[in-house]
Chains A and B, each alone.
Chain A
C-alpha cells in the first residue's frame, strides 16, 4: 500500500507565476489535509478536504490560495501570483476518516525567486 504521494518534490517559481502542488492520498483515504512549514518552524494547518468538499479552510490565506479534491484524481493546492513569502515546504496528509491518525507525504518544497 503506497503512502501519501506528493509531486513535484521541488518546485521553483518566479514571483507572479502560479504554483500547483499535487497530493495523492493513501488508498482508501478520503480525507486530505494541507499544511505549510516555514524553515525551523512547526507545521501550520491550511485546509481540510473530503472528496469534492472543503470542510475547513480556516488556515488558508484569503487571497491567491485555493484547494480542491475532485472526485477523481489528486488533491491540488494552487497558489496564484506567488510571492517570496510563499517559499516553504507544503505537506499533505490523509486519513481514512476524521479524528484519526494523519499520514503525511514527503512534501513539496516551493522556492519563489
Chain B
C-alpha cells in the first residue's frame, strides 16, 4: 500500500539540544523523500530532500538519513532553536503525488 507514518506524535526538546524526528514508509519502490516544516496557519515549507541513491544528506543545521533496508527516514536538527517549533512531516513521492505522514509536533523549551 502507500502510507508514510511517524512514530512519535510530539517531541519536546530543550533549546540548544539536537532533535531527531523519525518516519517509516511503506513503499519500497519510492525513490524521493522530503521533509517539510509547517507552522501554525501556514503551508508546508520544504526543509530537505533525499533520493534513494543516497543514505545521508546535510543542509544547514539539518541532516536527513535514509535507511532503505528498514524503510526508515529521520530528520536531525542540530542546536534546536525556538523558531524550530512546528509540525514536521515526512513525505514520500509515489507516482505523481506526495504521500504525507501524520506529522510530529516539535516543541522547543527555552
Contact = CB atoms under 8 A, between A and B. Distances in A.
Contacts of A72: none
B43 interface: yes
Nearest to B105: A40
Interface size class of B (residues with CB under 8 A): 20 to 34
* Secondary structure class of chain B's binding surface, majority of residues: strand
Given A42-B89, A42-B103, A48-B97, A101 B49 contact: yes
B34 interface: yes
B83 to A, nearest CB: 18
Interface string A16-40: 0000000000000000010100001
B25 to A, nearest CB: 13
Contact of A99 (B4, B32, B102): B32
Contacts of B42: 106-107
A45 interface: yes
Given A42-B89, A42-B102, A91 B97 contact: no
Contacts of A69: none
A101 B47 CA distance: 11
B95 interface: yes
Interface string B17-43: 000000000000000101010000111
Interface of B: 4, 32, 34, 36, 41-46, 49, 89, 91, 93, 95-103
* Top 5 closest pairs, chain A to chain B, by CB: A42-B100, A104-B43, A45-B97, A56-B96, A43-B100
Interface of A: 4, 33, 35, 40-45, 48, 55-56, 58-59, 91, 93, 98-99, 101-107
